[in-house]
């Protein structure tokens, strides 16, 4: 029995020195703790750094249709002449009965003096005749706002080191180069300028239906020479004709968005296209590849919105 007890005691006899932490364990635990603290500190610093930046959702800019007022072939004036009555209205303007005429006499006499004064002021203002003319600005006849049209308001600048680079810029925005007038009844233009130039000829009516924005090349410079060379290479006569660049609808909309974004950032949060006199764009290389239009200047009409502070 004693031998068995001794054997059990021998099994339970544990060396306590083996359970103590040695220097290696203490050092590794210290290093792990330091690493954990440093990692926590880095995470906290990262959170504090990110909290300094205010998140801004991407700005969505919606363009409203521009309603441009114009008087067409109407004479310039300070008010608006009445439109001639239609056939259905003539019947209502026929001569009234005798009793109605007598009743209207007294009402008419009281307004004669005022009418004469009005006619006299109209004659003085217009210089001839007694009509009021049309107070709308020059342009195609229509009702709308007094807006500088885009083809007059926008100034688009290109800079190219050679002909191919210029054609690449135009093709990036699907801009066609064409020629009109000069005794030729068709609108002739070239597409795919930098790859496979292709000549197309359509009637003015068909071109109008496309509703493309067109800019006339007025300044005689090297870029205009490139445009003429492309037209001549495609067999399009250019003598005595106007050279134009036709902008598709999607490019026009992109320019409109850039114009509005510049106004909102630099001028006022209350966007009013009626206050813009000139917007200057420049075609630049896009860091992500290709090209982009950037607004470099914007000028405003009298009574424009105050500068954004």
User: pLDDT tens for residues 253-272?
Assistant: 999 999 999 999 988 888 88
HSE-up of residue 11 (Cα within 13 Å, Cβ side)? 5
Name which of 8-12, 48-52, 229-233 the model is least confident about: 8-12
| CA distances (Å), origin 190, targets 3, 39, 109, 162, 224 | 113, 63, 68, 19, 14
Count of helices and strands (H, E) across the chain: 9, 8
Distance CA 199, CA 194 (A): 13
Lowest model confidence (mean pLDDT) among 48-62, 79-93, 121-135: 121-135
Cα–Cα distance for residue pair 295/278, rounded to 1 Å = 11
Count of other CB atoms within 10 angstroms of residue 153: 17
pLDDT of residue 125: 42
Concatenating the DSSP letter of every residue in 250-271 gives HHHHHHHHHHHHHHHHHT-SS-
Residues 177 and 236 sit within 8 Å (Cβ to Cβ): no
Residue 273 CA to residue 263 CA, distance in Å, equals 9
Q: Which contacts of 186-189 are long-range, i.e. CB under 8 A and separated by 24 or more positions?
A: 188/231, 188/236, 188/237, 189/236, 189/244, 189/246
pTM here? 0.61
pLDDT digits (tens, 9 = 90+) for 115-134: 444 444 444 444 445 566 66
* Alpha-carbon distances, residue 91 vs 83, 85, 94, 98 (angstroms): 16, 10, 5, 17
DSSP string, 25-60: HHHHHHHHHHHHHHHHHHHHHHHHHHHTSPP-PPPP
Angle between helices 163-172 and 222-233 in degrees, nearest 10: 80
Nearest to 64 by CA among 140, 175, 144: 144
Looking at every residue in the chain, the average pLDDT score rounds to 78
The residue among 154, 152, 134, 141 whose CA lies nearest residue 67 is: 141
End-to-end CA distance of the chain: 101
76 vs 152, higher pLDDT: 152
């Amino acid at each position: 029995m004693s031998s068995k007890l001794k054997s059990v005691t021998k099994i339970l006899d544990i060396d306590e020195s083996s359970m103590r932490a040695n220097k290696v364990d203490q050092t590794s635990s210290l290093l792990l703790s330091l690493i954990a603290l440093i990692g926590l500190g880095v995470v906290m610093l990262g959170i504090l750094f990110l909290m300094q930046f205010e998140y801004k959702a991407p700005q969505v800019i919606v363009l409203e249709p521009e309603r441009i007022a114009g008087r067409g072939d109407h004479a310039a004036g300070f008010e608006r002449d009445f439109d001639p009555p239609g056939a259905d209205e003539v019947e209502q303007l026929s001569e009234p009965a005798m009793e109605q005429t007598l009743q209207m006499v007294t009402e008419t006499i009281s307004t004669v003096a005022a009418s004469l004064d009005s006619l006299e002021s109209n004659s003085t203002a217009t210089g001839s005749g007694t009509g009021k003319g049309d107070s709308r600005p020059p342009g195609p006849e229509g009702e709308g706002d007094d807006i500088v049209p885009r083809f007059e308001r926008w100034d688009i600048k290109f800079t190219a080191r050679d002909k191919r680079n210029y054609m690449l810029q135009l093709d990036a925005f699907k801009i066609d180069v064409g020629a009109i007038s000069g005794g030729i009844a068709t609108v002739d233009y070239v597409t795919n300028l930098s790859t496979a130039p292709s000549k197309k000829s359509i009637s003015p009516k068909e071109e109008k239906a496309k509703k493309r924005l067109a800019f006339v090349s007025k300044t005689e410079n090297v870029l205009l020479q490139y445009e003429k060379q492309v037209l001549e290479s495609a067999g399009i006569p250019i003598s005595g004709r106007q050279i134009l660049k036709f902008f598709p609808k999607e490019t026009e909309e992109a320019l409109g968005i850039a114009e509005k974004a510049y106004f909102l950032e630099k001028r006022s949060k209350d966007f009013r296209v009626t206050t813009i006199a000139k917007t200057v764009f420049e075609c630049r290389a896009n860091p992500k590849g290709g090209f982009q239009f950037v607004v470099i200047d914007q000028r405003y009409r009298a009574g424009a919105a105050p500068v954004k502070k």
